[in-house]
Structure 1
Amino acid sequence: MLVPFLIMLREGIEAALIVGIVASYLKQTGRQKWMGAVWIGVITACVLCLLIGLLLDLGSAEFPQRQQEIFEAGVGLIAVCILTSMVFWMKKAARAIKAQLHDSIDAALKPGDRQGLALAGMAFFAVAREGLESVFFLLATFQQNVGTAAPIGAIIGLLAAIGLGFGIYYGGVRINLKRFFHWTGVFILFVAAGLLAGSVRSLHEAGLWNGLQSIAFDLSGVLPSDSVLGSVLGSILGYQDMPTMGEVLAYCLFLFPALALFLGGLHRHAVAKTSA
């Protein structure tokens, strides 16, 4: 439940920030009448992402076992790429996103017959990007976590993000967004590493990857995967009590360089700012 909750909270806050920046700028420039177009774009994006997620989930249920494993591996790999790009994109774009959105709004509202359509399209693509990221992550997570806990966590996270979004926009809520995105970014990299290891496991079960299948270590006697703590660690970090060498290598070869790039980039920025 925790992983879907935090991912949807982060994704929802990103989308809420974008919509909030757009709404604030329209209000500041006396163009509130265009908020209807913004909401059309937002709602259309949400409905489309929901339909895509449902279609992919329903379609995968009809696959034979081997194709199901291949589908799970593919979704997991896509989710890893999306989550990683999301973390690094937000780190890079956070400082300039407000100015970029203002420029996009001004461009969309240039005199012409399609001002509303252009603004709706801008809002649509901004929210659809966040929504599609969430769709692929949730698909990968739901396939690894059977039961209602994961969907409930995702719904609670989304509702919390909506509530925080309204709170931030109306000025009643203050959170340190820089710190929030920093720590959730670190957490997401661990989640992505677990999804990558799970994709390697699915590829093996599908018969497409048969190398490095010796057991790296056996913790089944100390911390079995089906124990309460093992299940929690499995849902959050992709823990397995008897992982193969391939799974461990995939996990480590992804996680350590990604963390070094993410945290190292932040350190360099802090040093440069201090020197200035």
Structure 2
Amino acid sequence: MLVPFLIMLREGIEAALVVGIVASYLRQTGQERWMPAVWIGVVVAAILCLVFGMVLDVVSGEFPQREQELFEAAVGLIAVVILTWMVFWMRRAARSIRHEIHDAIDAALERHKTRNGQALALTLMAFFAVSREGLESVFFLLATFQQESGLAAPIGAFLGLTLAIGFGFGIYYGGVKLNLARFFRWTGIFILFVAAGLLAGSLRALHEAGLWNGLQSVAFDLSQVLPVDGALGTILAGIFGYEDTPTIGEVLVYVLFLVATLPPFLSQAAPRPVATDAGAH
């Protein structure tokens, strides 16, 4: 439940941040008449992402066993790439995102002189902001749902999204402030560990599909100390992809991924503390 919750919270906050900044800026500048165009973009993007996720889930369920393993590996690898790109990009963008969005709104309204053109520009701005985060979330959730069974994962995702939507309204009405630099730094560290687990799980799926047979010796056996089907083991497996008898290959990709991503992420020039504040111009 925790991984889907945090992923949807972070992805939802990114989308809500953009939409909230757009909405609050339009209100501050006396251009609230364009808000219906923004909401059209949000709703259309949300519906398309939901349909895309449902189609992928249904189609993957029809695959034979080998193809299901290949699909699971592919989804996991895509999720790892997007997760890694996302945490690095948002760490850099947290400082200037508000000013960049304000400039983009001004440019869109200035470039399109007709009413219809301006409405379309704002609709597309909201659509692409929400659809990008939504499509990323589809791959993350598919990857995590493949590792977790039951209702806990969907409930966690729903709670995370609900909280993010509340955050978006808080930005719009000016009641929510959040240190973006600190938020994206700590959630970024957590998500890199999640991505490492997804990468190891993808390697495992490739082996089960018959495409990877190297480094399959068991690296260590913790089944007697911390079994994966125990209470703590289940939690660690759901969050970090823990296995009590991992192969050498799985341990290697897990460690090498963290070695390659954590130091540059932590050493990346930290942006000045920035708080979301709907009242700032």
Considering the TM-score relative to the shorter chain, is it more than 0.5?
A: yes
Residue deviations 1:183-236 (CA, integer Å, cap 9, x gap): 100000000000000000000000000000000100001001000100000001
Given residue 46 of structure 1, which amino acid in structure 2 is its aligned partner? A
Partner of 2:140: 137
Partner of 1:28: 28
Tell me the distance in 2 between the aligned counterparts of 1:145 and 1:258. Answer: 25
Q: Where do residues 90-129 of structure 1 align in structure 2 (5 Å cutoff)?
A: 90-110=90-110, 111-112=113-114, 113-129=116-132
Tell me the distance in 1 between the aligned counterparts of 2:67 and 2:47. Answer: 28
Structure 2: 5+ residue stretches without partners: 273-281
Residue deviations 1:104-125 (CA, integer Å, cap 9, x gap): 2122213134211111011100
Given residue 67 of structure 1, which amino acid in structure 2 is its aligned partner? E
Deviation at 1:160, TM superposition (A): 1.0
Partner of 1:162: 165
Q: Do residues 150 (structure 1) and 141 (structure 2) align?
A: no
Deviation at 1:66, TM superposition (A): 0.1
CA contact (8 A) 2:21 2:101 kept: yes
Deviation at 1:181, TM superposition (A): 1.2
Given residue 58 of structure 1, which amino acid in structure 2 is its aligned partner? V
The farther-off stretch of 242-251 and 93-102 is 93-102
Q: Do residues 211 (structure 1) and 197 (structure 2) align?
A: no
CA contact (8 A) 2:57 2:142 kept: yes
Tell me the distance in 1 between the aligned counterparts of 2:260 and 2:269. Answer: 14
SS of the aligned residue for 2:132 comes to helix
**CA RMSD, 1 decimal:** 1.3
Partner of 2:279: none
Q: Where do residues 189-228 of structure 1 align in structure 2 (5 Å cutoff)?
A: 189-228=192-231
Tell me the distance in 2 between the aligned counterparts of 1:114 and 1:209. Answer: 52
Residue deviations 1:146-191 (CA, integer Å, cap 9, x gap): 1110000000111111112222332323333221111100000000
Q: Do residues 230 (structure 1) and 245 (structure 2) align?
A: no
Distance 1:143 1:182, change over 3 A: same
Tell me the distance in 2 between the aligned counterparts of 1:193 and 1:50. Answer: 26
Q: In percent, how many aligned pairs have the same letter?
A: 70
Q: Where do residues 252-271 of structure 1 align in structure 2 (5 Å cutoff)?
A: 252-266=255-269
Partner of 1:86: 86
CA contact (8 A) 2:7 2:160 kept: yes
CA contact (8 A) 2:206 2:212 kept: yes
Partner of 1:273: none
Tell me the distance in 1 between the aligned counterparts of 2:269 and 2:102. Answer: 26
Q: Where do residues 33-112 of structure 1 align in structure 2 (5 Å cutoff)?
A: 33-110=33-110, 111-112=113-114
Partner of 2:275: none
Q: Do residues 8 (structure 1) and 33 (structure 2) align?
A: no
Deviation at 1:266, TM superposition (A): 3.9
Given residue 175 of structure 1, which amino acid in structure 2 is its aligned partner? L
Partner of 1:274: none
SS of the aligned residue for 1:95 comes to coil
Structure 1: 5+ residue stretches without partners: 271-276
Tell me the distance in 2 between the aligned counterparts of 1:106 and 1:177. Answer: 23
Residue deviations 1:225-264 (CA, integer Å, cap 9, x gap): 0001000000011100000011011101111221101001
Tell me the distance in 1 between the aligned counterparts of 2:76 and 2:231. Answer: 24
Residue deviations 1:21-74 (CA, integer Å, cap 9, x gap): 101211122211001100000111100100100000000000000000000000
Tell me the distance in 2 between the aligned counterparts of 1:94 and 1:129. Answer: 17
Partner of 2:177: 174
Tell me the distance in 1 between the aligned counterparts of 2:71 and 2:85. Answer: 21
Given residue 69 of structure 1, which amino acid in structure 2 is its aligned partner? E
SS of the aligned residue for 2:268 comes to helix
SS of the aligned residue for 1:218 comes to coil
